[in-house]
Structure 1
Amino acid sequence: MSAENNYKKGLLLTALGGMALTIDIPLIRLANGEPWTILLLRTGMTFLSALVVWAIWRSFSPKAPQLVPGRTGLIVAALYGIGSITFVTGVFNTSTANLVFILAFNTVFAAALSWIFLKERPQTVTLVTMAVMIVGVLIIVGSSLGTGHLFGDLMGLCSAFFIACAITISRSSGKDMGFTALVGVILPCMVAAFMVSKGGFQVEAPWWILFNGAVIMPISFFCLANGPKYISGAEVAMFYLLETVLAPVWVWMIFSEVPSRNSLIGGVILITALVFHSVWQLHQGRKRRMARAVRHPA
């Protein structure tokens, strides 16, 4: 397959994954259930789907990746699992706009963790972007004081942090973690099963969350995880922004949930900073590729 076709394939994969991710929160809300029940159904179906896909892949090819590659894989799976718990908790305790804007902050956590543990010092532009994003998050969180949304905002921050930790460890290990995020949901599934056994099964429209766990989550995770094979990380990050931009729109259309003024201000700051930084990364990547082409002409 030519480089151009690979690039188009990467764009198609990440676009599909990014668009699928935008309806995650609306489907959770449409199910209209108690948080632990929602978490049980969402993670349980995601885990089962991952096992089915892996088993089919394994039957056709012995080179199918491991579900959990060693001790490092267990740590990464646990981080994704805890992140899933804090994410669903955030969905039920703050607005959709606040949550998706705050989740975009995982890029700052990832850059900081890479700097501390992998000795990858961010460039000046990245540091400036991080500072701007911190201002945006502070505006959003500050607007939640006294509104009852502060706990949900903090859960969103925790989710962003755990995802960033998982990404950093995955990168440092160099191992294939393609299925690890999906298998990691077994932890929140077990916790949710215990809580549901105590409080009872409460959900009005379970088909929405079953569809979410069985179809939407596996598609989004698979496509976004495979995108970097064909296109740059900066381009993949741009498609992650689809959830940040579109999820509040879907929730507004379905539930008439209007973001607060400060939430919109903070969100615009976050999105603008991320888009600027992603475009800058793309420009730097093209410059490096052109330099290599000049040094090694065909």
Structure 2
Amino acid sequence: MKLRHSQAVLLMVLVAFLWSTAGVVTRHLEFARKFEVTFWRSLFASISLMLILPYFQGRAVFRKIRDAGVALWLSGVCWAVMFTAYMVAFTLTSVGNVLVILAVGPLLTAIAARIFIGYRVPLRTWVAILVAGAGIAYMFASQVGSASIVGSLVALTIPIAAAVNWTISQHSHDQGHDLDLVPAVMLGAFLSTASTCVLAFPLQASMHDVVLLGTLGVFQLAVPCVLCMVCARVLSAPEISLLQLLEVIFGILLVWVGANEAPSTSVLTGGVLVIGALVANEWLGWRRRVPIS
């Protein structure tokens, strides 16, 4: 699939919208809770990826998993953590809270890259980390003593896993072995399904729940993951990072309109700090890369 730049931008907007639908859908579940929510979504995502990914890479995608090295398996574990914690967090705290915490992923990645592979972090990114960190700290402080703090901690494992995953990928690249994220994503879906299978029992989901979670597995997880990889061939990393932030905005608006879950003051304040820091960091970085005509 060959895209022009404008087409890739529009496609990434669609990807962000599809990603953002998980929160509002979980608010309309009848009986499925916690690990069962993850199990059904990951199961349908695994089946979908088994059908979709061979279209792009042929049967070689299965051979890559069979012959996978340590790096691919570690990446798969990271994806599994992200897939699992994402849905569990939605059952424990507000959608806006989860999405704002997810948004700090690029900044945590910068810290991990600095610590583990010596990546030089620009001053603007350190400033963004401090500002975003203040926003997250404010959100956590406002939840001390409430049940939401558990959901926030679960949500925090997602950007941490994403940072570890990027570091593994970059280290593999530095060693001359580029890590193929396509089979890693599918492996992550398999591991998420397998790890939550037992934890999901006794299964309580109604047919209504299974249909909703199956729809999420296909159209909120499998399809947008593949489309994002297609867009990554055309768009730069800063462009993708900025467009991914639309998931936060779309997700909060969808759950507000579709489930009457208005964001709290702490989420709005923390979100403004986090999103503002990320936008400023990526925009300044983009300005430095664009040649002056």
- TM-score, length-scaled by structure 1: 0.88
CA contact (8 A) 1:58 1:64 kept: no
Please give the residue correspondences for 1:129-148 in structure 2 after superposition, counting only pairs within 5 Å.
129-148=128-147
Whole-Å Cα distance in 1 between the matches of residues 162 and 115 of structure 2?
16
Whole-Å Cα distance in 2 between the matches of residues 268 and 168 of structure 1?
27
**SS of aligned partner of 2:97:** helix
**SS of aligned partner of 1:94:** coil
Using the TM superposition, give the Cα deviation of residue 160 of structure 1 relative to its aligned residue in structure 2, in angstroms: 1.3
**SS of aligned partner of 1:184:** helix
Structure 2 partner of 1:93: 92
CA contact (8 A) 1:78 1:184 kept: yes
Using the TM superposition, give the Cα deviation of residue 264 of structure 1 relative to its aligned residue in structure 2, in angstroms: 0.8
The answer as to 2:266 corresponding to 1:249 is no
Q: Which has more radius of gyration?
A: 1
Whole-Å Cα distance in 2 between the matches of residues 96 and 255 of structure 1?
10
**SS of aligned partner of 1:122:** coil
Structure 2 partner of 1:27: 25
Using the TM superposition, give the Cα deviation of residue 123 of structure 1 relative to its aligned residue in structure 2, in angstroms: 0.6
Using the TM superposition, give the Cα deviation of residue 38 of structure 1 relative to its aligned residue in structure 2, in angstroms: 1.2
Give per-residue Cα distances to partners, 1:22-59, cap 9 Å, x unaligned: 11222233233222221111000111111111334455
Whole-Å Cα distance in 2 between the matches of residues 266 and 285 of structure 1?
29
CA contact (8 A) 1:13 1:226 kept: no
Instruction: Name the CA shift for 1:182/1:29 in 2 (closer, same or farther; >3 Å).
Output: farther
Give per-residue Cα distances to partners, 1:47-106, cap 9 Å, x unaligned: 1111111334455x8699934742211100011102222222211111111110011111
Q: Percent identity?
A: 19
When structure 1 is superposed on structure 2, of 224-233 and 91-100 the one drifting more is: 224-233
Structure 1 partner of 2:107: 108
Query: Structure 2 counterpart of 1:26, which letter?
Result: V
Using the TM superposition, give the Cα deviation of residue 125 of structure 1 relative to its aligned residue in structure 2, in angstroms: 0.4
Structure 2 partner of 1:175: 179
Whole-Å Cα distance in 2 between the matches of residues 220 and 167 of structure 1?
19
Structure 1's unaligned 5+ residue stretches are 292-298
Give per-residue Cα distances to partners, 1:217-236, cap 9 Å, x unaligned: 11211122332221111100
CA contact (8 A) 1:10 1:231 kept: yes
When structure 1 is superposed on structure 2, of 116-125 and 165-174 the one drifting more is: 165-174
Residue-pair matches, total: 285
**SS of aligned partner of 2:182:** coil
Query: Structure 2 counterpart of 1:262, which letter?
Result: S
Whole-Å Cα distance in 1 between the matches of residues 179 and 124 of structure 2?
29
Structure 1 partner of 2:175: none
CA contact (8 A) 1:105 1:157 kept: no
Instruction: Name the CA shift for 1:106/1:271 in 2 (closer, same or farther; >3 Å).
Output: same
Please give the residue correspondences for 1:257-272 in structure 2 after superposition, counting only pairs within 5 Å.
257-272=261-276
Whole-Å Cα distance in 2 between the matches of residues 20 and 277 of structure 1?
25
Hey, which bits of structure 1, 4+ residues long, moved more than 4 A?
61-65
CA contact (8 A) 1:57 1:64 kept: no
Instruction: Name the CA shift for 1:29/1:231 in 2 (closer, same or farther; >3 Å).
Output: same
Instruction: Name the CA shift for 1:133/1:70 in 2 (closer, same or farther; >3 Å).
Output: same
CA contact (8 A) 1:86 1:156 kept: yes
- TM-score, length-scaled by structure 2: 0.89
Query: Structure 2 counterpart of 1:55, which letter?
Result: P
Please give the residue correspondences for 1:126-205 in structure 2 after superposition, counting only pairs within 5 Å.
126-173=125-172, 174-197=178-201, 199-203=202-206, 204-205=208-209
Structure 2's unaligned 5+ residue stretches are 173-177
